Structure 1
Amino acid sequence: MEEMRLTAYESSKLYKEKVKLYHDLKIRQKDFRVGQSVLLFNSRMKLFPSKLRSKWSGPFLIKEVKSHGAIKLQDSASQRSWVVNGQRVKPYLGSDVEQLTIIINLSDA
């Protein structure tokens, strides 16, 4: 019995190591640069969450990247800056889009 228990322990240890290696290979490193636009994840708990509200806000401009993973963001509209965890941001891939409004008059002709 003791031998079976020890082999089971070893096999579970090997399994955990393989799974950890697999998951670590799937993790993508995020490299942020000063001046890059990013989106910020809003993780606040809400009493009445709405389905149509996006959890990502922004875009914000990166003002400084700290060595321990913190990022200093700046809002371009209000010029306010604050420090957030680097895991809460993702790169903003979009660009400014012009809003075009088209008015179509429908008549009974």
Structure 2
Amino acid sequence: MTDGFSVDLDALRKAASGISTTLDAMATKKVSDIDAPKDAFGHDSLASAVVDFCDRWNIGVSHLATDGAEVSDRLNRCVQSYEAAEKHIQLSAEGILKSSSGTDPGAS
């Protein structure tokens, strides 16, 4: 026999919110902000390496942001599903305890 399980819906909400907050913060700090004109590096190869790094890093950040938004969305949908299931179970249990002639006399 299983002992069942429980889900901390507040923790799921906070996790989703934390991811969204982090993504919002990431949106204000662009990798391109550290990019500089090639002559600022004093060496063409170094400047090219920095440009290549920034380009690749931007791609990685973009993928991370997309994945993070998906995780946040799925956590929020899980909360909604758990809440809907809980409401359904509650209404079903209430329906079982009521008869067509009123409240179940054995419930009191």
TM-score, scaled to structure 1: 0.32
Whichever structure has more strand as a proportion of its residues is 1
Whichever structure has more helix as a proportion of its residues is 2
Rg larger in structure: 2
Greater relative contact order: 1 or 2 (C-alpha under 8 angstroms, separation 6 or more)?
2
